A = this chain, B = another copy of it.
């Protein structure tokens, strides 16, 4: 439990915590599932770590800085899972597009509050460099493998011509992103009527299956 310190067991042995920053982040992540992005308390986190409430502000400018770090972690966590899933799919010669879609949903449904934190702009510092990097990493994955389903299978030629003309996101990739993102959010917020929690995934997968060949 004791972090790396130089000297021994005097009463002030824990004066300098050693790794308070990440300890606080961990404490915040621990209350996240129950309290939600807006409900987490820095003071509670500080108390949990065994430190005064003001100590947090030596490591974070304000609460937004904390939440930005949490969001960056979440972005990277999801990106990791998506890359792993994509690699696996490549090996198995199955659709990487489907794989990252599933990974997106899995992450969102298994860690709903971390997922929501990623998109709670009001809580985040849009200038936080780590967060920006993490966001770019994620959207880059979405972009890279989000277009490798051939829309010509199911969509008209004029639609296919549209498929790449908007911003950094080809329309089809954006549609797919929007669909998983929206369905994940609806599921998390319990907005899909008549669907018990266990059936969620199946119902959503069945809906997503309509998008490409079978997402």
Partner of A172, one of B165, B172, B210: B210
Interface size range of chain A in the complex: 35 or more
Q: Mark A182-198, 1 if CB is under 8 A from B, else 0.
A: 11111001111111000
Chain B residues whose C-beta falls within 8 Å of the C-beta of A181 in the assembled complex: 182-183, 185-186
Count of this chain's copies in the oligomeric assembly = 2
Tell me the minimal C-beta distance from A213 to chain B in angstroms: 8
Chain B residues whose C-beta falls within 8 Å of the C-beta of A185 in the assembled complex: 119, 181-182, 185
- Measured in the bound complex, the distance between the Cα atoms of B116 and A122 in whole Å is 12
B-facing residues in A96-146 (Cβ within 8 Å): 119-122, 126, 135-136, 139
Write the chain B residue with the least CB distance to A188.
Answer: B121
Q: Is the CB of A209 within 8 A of B122?
A: no
Chain A interfacial positions (CB closer than 8 Å to B) = 36, 38-39, 119-122, 126, 135-136, 139, 151, 154-155, 159, 162-163, 165-169, 171-172, 174-175, 177-186, 189-195, 199, 202-204, 206-211, 214
